[in-house]
Structure 1
Amino acid sequence: MAGRTFSWSGHTRRLAGAVSVGALTLAVVAVPGVDAAESDDSGAEFRKTRPVAPGVKHRQFEMVDDAGDRVEGDVLTVDLSHPTVSLDLLYPGVVAAREPVSTLADEQGAVAGVNGDFFDIGGTPEIDGTNAPVGPAVATGVDLTAAVPMGQRWGPPLAPETTTLETVFGAGDDGAQIGELSLEGTITTPSGTTEVDALNQYAIEEGGVGAFTSDWGTADRRRATCGSDTRRNDPCVDETIEVVVTGGVVTEVHDEPRSGAIADDTIVLVGREGGVQDLDGLEPGDAVEVTYQMVADDGAAFDFAIGGTPILRDGEPLAGLQEGVRAPRTSAGASADGSTVYLVTVDGRQEDSAGISIQDMAELMVDFGADAGVNLDGGGSTTMVARERHADSVSVVNSPSGGQERPVPNGVGVFSEVAD
């Protein structure tokens, strides 16, 4: 990860067989012209569908749930020990924007991928949504954004032990893993030093100061001063300030945050409530230094990271996961040694697929071989893409519940130096 110092700066599936997966029945799907059945480490037998690229495999499966309803899904198995395979963030080039997963994958040259984090799709009653993600994001070693306050989150109920939105699924030199990424940073002004409480986030904690860079995009920064630490729809606050720092020098001061692009050598500081006092008194010409970085709780280095809700640890689903509520879902997981990644989508809200609960998704991830995993955005966002053999672009391989792809702010991209 790299912080910054601003000192101046509807498909058809054929049922072939079935094996038990907890309370579900997993049906093996045969696809014409592909390899014969093989066994996973889990002991479940699957028909290998097709290689997407060396070290990258796509499969389709079916399940019958406790109610006797059919469920369809897809899994990408990614071998990170393969020298040509890697993961990185799919995103539109800025934090506060969104595009379909297929567009993101093709623009960045990915051979496969899934949608990513929950995001600010609805905004607040006073301010439109910014489309920025809920949790942290790191792309190609660059820290893009940190986690919003818990009360400002979007998404389904969390496990009881989840108290922050700093959990990420990511990868680095040690392979793929689940971890926690928190923001550390300082703002040094002529009158003293204060902390950076937010980085390119659609919500700043009460009394905090947030930093916005060119990675944010053009979305309205006023959104960051709306809502509270406990309620996303609380009113926007009146006590705000925005300080524009270019080349390490204050160039503008405003009493309300604005929108618009931010230059590469510029950082915009936004304060709310008590954070206003931390920036109060700054005038054009004052020297200001801003430093920040995302820090992993265990000291791990993430070259890529995306926010997600933890559902699986040490090969066991977390206690208290939501049961019974079936929906389209996306998840990402890793083997115990971090060498194998499992990206899974389950279709829902349609005649051929009823969806899956978060509890059942965690159990399914265990059966596939994941030791740790997170739940990503689901519903209409659930999308998996992959290249056909010799194709120059990806295709959507699942069935999005809205009948077409929903634009999203980020995703998990699978990259191969040599595509099959």
Structure 2
Amino acid sequence: MKVQKQLGIGALACALVWQLTVGGTTVFAADPVLTLSSQETITSGAILKNYVWTTTRSNKDVSVNANVIEVDLTNPNVKIDAMAGTKNQFTKNQSVLGMVKDTGAVAGVNGDFFNTQAEGVPEGAQITNGVVMATPAKISGLYSFAITKDNQPIIDIFDFQGTVKAKDGTTFELGGVNKTYYWDDNDVPMIADGLFLYTNAWAMTQRAVDGTHVPTEALIQNGVVKEIAVDTNIKMVAPADGYILRGSGLAREFIVNHLKVGDPVTTKYDMVPHDLSKKYDWKNFKMMIGGNTLLVDEAKPSYFTREIKDFSGYTPRSRTAIGYSKDMKTAYMITSDNNGSSKGMTLPELQQFMIQAGVWRGMVLDGGGSTQMVTRPLGDFDPKLTNKTEYGNQRSVVNGVGIYSTAPKGELKGLILKGQKVIFINESSTYQFKAYDDYYNPIAVDSIIPQWSSSTTNGSFKDNVFTATQPGKTQIVAKSGKGSATMDVEVVGRDQISSMKFSAGSFSLTEGNDFKLPISVTTKSGVTRDLPPTSAKWELSGIKGTITDGVLHVDSAAGSQAAQVIARYDGYSTMVTLPVGQEKVWYDLDKSAVLTTGDKYPAEVVSTVNIAKETNGNKTLDISYDFTKGAGTKAAYARFDGTNGVQIDGEPQFITAKVFGDGSFNWVRAEFVDADGKQQLRSFTENTNWSGWRKVTADISDLKFPVKLKSVYVANPANGQDERASKGKISIDDISFIYKGQIAALPKNSVKLTVNKKQASLNNKAMTLEQAPTIINDNTLVPIRFVTEALGGNVKWDDKERKVTVIRGDKLIDLWIDNPDLLVNGDRVTAEVAPKIMNNVTMVPLRLISEKLGFKVGWEPKNQGITLE
């Protein structure tokens, strides 16, 4: 996919309708929309803005969660600096969160690109606290971000120039400072004949190890050669008052022939703008961080200064970028997420986002699995990961950009309350608080004892614990000195609920197992929260079992086709009907198994399949793997019946297995062949992040049956491969299939009624009603007990509440006399006409009840006849 920017008259236009050429077809994307969802002060001079960016791809709407840290470069209480590894050292990669904590930053993002297979140093330059830690690579088109001594931001290309001069006057070109092995634009290995300088920022005792070029090194201290190691390395980290020169090829000859212990050495280097018309005092830069292509120039999409296909530039990924405003007073640190419903960005999309966010000039930083943003929430001492990373973990990276508070200690300015905003009757909720000073930096709360109160009498405080007693809205208040905070809290009762639903998803019950039954409550104000299990009153029918703290344990389901679970809270009801399924163990090495052999992909992978025995005698299937060699997606298989696979009986809904995880983050999958002979892959997990046994499940209900199970296997996909362990072993036991139970069909009865007549029939058997159907306000009302019971349902009457509960099949309805609001499987529905009592018979609106209970209604207008079935 290539991106062509729209051309205006005589210039490159920054139109938000932009053109994509995909597979030879040109499409025009609609204007992307940028919506600010929230913002929070991090510290004086730095704020976090959370955005939702929406656009279209392939005629489909997509949205992306993006975060922007804006730093006021004119504010003396904040600064930007570069971070590196652990304790600001290269070759000791760690997460951005770790670097932020190590260096005392209040926020940060990941930085430069790096070779994940090398020692762990940035591709480009880095200056931290005014000290040069790395210099630019000799690769064209790589941009760097810097802050001058006057706090002016710079984004530009810098070239490296350097020489080492021996006592005899011989000079040799210096390749760079603290560089690992790399190749220039012509694929020439720079380390082959190169001379490189290493400071104490390089924490390893080996330098630029590529497995091919043997180093010769010289230790220089206070400008004098202290040691020379020919065809080997000096077994130490460079001292603070010196450096180590590493050379191979021609550089080796220079060290061996022209440097001698005790001789002085002169080393000089410069970082000059690629555009020689520009002048920068780089020796007085406060910070510098390397990146890759320029993205935005003068608030317009820049041409790409590097080939972005090399880092998936046209694929939606997580992204990190940095830039500054036109007036050079604001710096922007940007991340966008590729995780869950947030669909990531291509680099052309990132350009558009940056422009909309206010960037005048900006460049890309490392992205994908490296993208991380960390911020310190207002009032907190500890920073936290702000974005959702692409693979769910925090990659160890080589460097980052940190934001630091330089403010003095201030006075208490404000409090922030933490706690539930929606609580339930009789629920006790603990409220905590944080405090911050005049510079928005945290204050310890140990000595602060606020006064707690609420604005209404629907609850009470004991210390900082609020116990709700009555439904309604209230405001929690905490005060201490000049600081105060309030929080709006809603105590939810029946009248505040719009929906109460079981949220566990679809599954079949099996004997002896436990099933969580979470209940999600949505209020009329639009807030959704899980109902505490202890707040519900539970009813179970159809099977033998118990419900404790919202967990159903099935003791016995013999002879049952389904179970009905009813949960009630403050008179509000919901129900779920769960089929009783049957779990059949298919592969158990102690009892039943099939011929199992090992396989691998690609050929370079090393894998074995073995039968192992645990200390308790239980046999398991072990899959060992070594993915260190080969390219692309890698896999280690346990194949069933050779390459044939084994046909599975019937149409199971799920496949389950017990997996002993190795914490590798690799995938565990099952390979099927469906009825059309097509390969179908289903994941047990795409993140083996546990150690020990765990039961895992994959949904196979969408397969075209009959199916064959060919293999189970461990996979390390090409995308994000460096996130996962390359060696390991998992164990598998008790592969089972779960077959879905069938809910009993309702009786096929037929009821005939006539408006204003008590004569009726059930399956053509004449009957007499106590109250005839009637029409009120154009709505036909029918006797609910007769109709429901005739069609296979049950009716209960609650005299105290004047409430009728109707259960038919998997439907539950609560109705209150003279109240138009009905509850249908936990959803509040409003009828045009409320239920009424006529001649001691409960009458309900036919149209609504028929729709919600699944009746089929026939209407004969001439005689006003009604048929229900």
TM-score range, shorter chain: 0.7 to 0.9
* Amino acid corresponding to residue 86 of structure 1 in structure 2: K
The equivalent residue for 2:411 is: none
Q: Give 1:361 deviation, angstroms.
A: 0.6
**Could you tell me which residue of structure 2 aligns to residue 299 of structure 1?**
279
1:131 aligns with 120
Residue of structure 1 in register with 2:246 after alignment: 270
Hey, what does 1:15 align to over in structure 2? none
DSSP-derived class of the 1:244 partner: strand
Shift of 1:381: 0.9
- Of 97, 108, 112, which residue of structure 2 is paired with 1:113? 108
Q: Return the alpha-carbon distance in structure 1 between the equivalents of residues 89 and 163 of structure 2.
A: 23
Q: Could you tell me which residue of structure 2 aligns to residue 60 of structure 1?
A: 50
Q: Please tell me whether residue 197 in structure 1 is matched to residue 185 in structure 2.
A: no
- For residues 97 and 219 of structure 1, do their structure 2 counterparts lie closer, same or farther at Cα, with a shift above 3 Å needed? farther
Deviation sequence 1:304-361 (CA, Å, 0-9, x none): 110012222222212256664110000001112321111110001x321111001111
The letter of the residue matching 2:366 is D
The equivalent of 1:86 in structure 2 is 79
User: What's the secondary structure of 2:56's corresponding residue?
Assistant: coil
The offset of 1:258, in angstroms, is 5.4
Secondary structure of the residue aligned to 1:363 is: helix
| 8 A contact 1:345–1:383 mirrored in 2 | yes
Compute the RMSD of aligned alpha carbons: 2.2
Question: In 2, Cα distance between the equivalents of 1:312 and 1:259?
Answer: 45
Write the deviation string for residues 143-177 of structure 1: whole angstroms up to 9, x where unpaired.
11112343xxxxxxxxxxxx243x20121215212
> What corresponds to 1:26 in structure 2?
33
User: Of residues 228, 241, 244 in structure 1, which corresponds to 2:216?
Assistant: 241
Is 1:411 the counterpart of 2:404 in the alignment?
no
Counterpart of 1:391, as a letter, is: D
Q: Does 1:211 align with 2:197?
A: yes
Q: In structure 2, do the counterparts of structure 1 residues 222 and 176 end up closer, same or farther at CA, with 3 Å as the change threshold? A: closer
For 1:90 and 1:63, locate their aligned partners in 2 and report how far apart those are by CA, in whole Å.
29
Shift of 1:180: 2.5
Alignment of 1:367-382 (within 5 A): 367-382=356-371
Could you list the per-position Cα deviations for residues 357-378 of structure 1 after superposition, in whole angstroms to 9, with x for gaps in the alignment? 0111112111111111110011
In structure 1, give the amino acid aligned to 2:279.
G
Label 1:319 to 1:295 Cα distance change in 2 as closer, same or farther (>3 A). Answer: closer
Distance 2:129 2:270 in 1: 14
Tell me which moved more, 249-258 or 52-61: 249-258
The CA distance in 2 between the partners of 1:145 and 1:324, in whole Å, is 29
Say if 2:114 and 2:123, in contact at 8 Å, map to a contact too: yes
Do the aligned partners of 2:218 and 2:225 also contact (CA within 8 Å) in 1?
Answer: no
Give the deviation of 1:207 after TM superposition: 2.5
Per the alignment, residue 387 of structure 1 pairs with: 376
Distance in 1 (CA, whole Å) between partners of 2:221 and 2:44 is: 46
SS of the equivalent of 2:343 reads coil
**Contact 1:21-1:367 within 8 A present in 2 as well:** no
Other-structure match for 2:301: 317
**Identical counterparts, % of pairs:** 26
* Maintained 8 Å contact 1:136/1:147: yes
Superposed, which structure 2 residues align to 1:309-388 within 5 Å?
309=292, 310-320=294-304, 324-348=314-338, 350-388=339-377
1:99 corresponds, among 90, 94, 97, to: 94
What letter matches 1:244 in structure 2?
L
Change (3 A) 1:21 1:339: farther
Contact 1:95–1:145 at 8 Å: present in 2 too? no
Higher relative contact order (CA 8 A, sep 6+): 1
Change in 2 beyond 3 A, CA 1:180/1:149? closer
What secondary structure, in the 3-state scheme, does the structure 2 residue paired with 1:245 have?
Answer: strand
- Select 1:261's aligned residue among 237, 244, 256: 237
Gaps of 5+ in 1: 1-19, 32-48, 123-128, 151-162, 227-234
Q: Which amino acid aligns with 1:169?
A: F
1:287 match: 264
- Does the 8 Å contact 1:135/1:147 carry over to 2? yes
Deviates more, 1:244-253 or 1:365-374: 244-253
Q: In the alignment, is the contact (CA less than 8 A) between 1:101 and 1:383 conserved in 2?
A: yes
Q: Which residue of 1 aligns with 2:65?
A: 72
Cα offset, 1:385, TM superposition:
1.0
Aligned residue identity for 1:241:
T
Aligned-pair distance for 1:60? 1.0
Return 5+ residue gaps in structure 2 as ranges: 1-15, 19-28, 183-189, 408-438, 441-869
User: Does the 8 Å CA contact 1:245/1:252 hold for their aligned counterparts?
Assistant: no
Q: In structure 1, how many angstroms separate the alpha carbons of the residues matched to 2:229 and 2:121?
A: 25
In the alignment, does 2:160 pair up with 1:183?
Answer: yes
What amino acid sits opposite 1:74 in the alignment?
N
Q: Distance in 2 between matches of 1:216 and 1:293?
A: 20
- Which one is further off, 22-31 or 58-67? 22-31
Could you tell me how far 1:103 is from its partner in structure 2?
1.7
Q: Is the 8 A contact 1:175 1:337 kept in 2?
A: no
- Cα shift at 1:88: 0.5
Distance in 1, Cα, partners of 2:172 & 2:394:
42
Query: Which has the larger displacement, 375-384 or 186-195?
Result: 186-195
Q: Return the offset for 1:120.
A: 2.0
Matched position secondary structure for 2:180: coil
Q: Deviations over 1:278-308 (max 9, x none)?
A: 2232333333232334344532232111001
Instruction: Call closer, same or farther: CA 1:260–1:120 in 2, change over 3 Å.
Output: farther
Tell me which structure has the larger Cα radius of gyration: 2
Output the amino acid matched with 1:85. Answer: V
Instruction: Find the aligned partners of 2:104 and 2:317 in 1 and give their Cα distance.
Output: 30
Pick aligned residue for 2:385 from 381, 396, 417? 396
1:35 aligned partner: none
Output the CA distance in 2 between the equivalents of 1:134 and 1:219.
20
Structure 2 CA distance for aligned equivalents of residues 328 and 259 of structure 1: 39
Q: Which residue identity lines up with residue 316 of structure 1 in the other structure? A: K
Separation in structure 1 between the aligned mates of residue 53 and residue 106 of structure 2, nearest angstrom: 26
Q: Is the Cα–Cα contact under 8 Å of residues 148 and 203 in structure 1 kept in the other structure?
A: no
Aligned residues: 353
Secondary structure, counterpart of 2:68 in structure 1: strand
Q: Is the 8 A contact 1:143 1:294 kept in 2?
A: no
1:202 partner SS: coil
For the 8 Å contact 1:253–1:283, the answer to whether it is kept is: no
Q: Which stretch shows the higher mean deviation, 255-264 or 360-369? A: 255-264
Q: What amino acid maps onto 2:132 in structure 1? A: D
Q: Secondary structure at the match of 1:280?
A: helix
Paired amino acid for 2:302: L
Map of 1:14 onto structure 2: none
Inter-partner Cα distance in structure 1 for 2:352 and 2:102: 34
Letter in 1 for 2:300: E
Q: Distance in 2 between matches of 1:353 and 1:133?
A: 28
Deviation at 1:269, TM superposition (A): 0.9
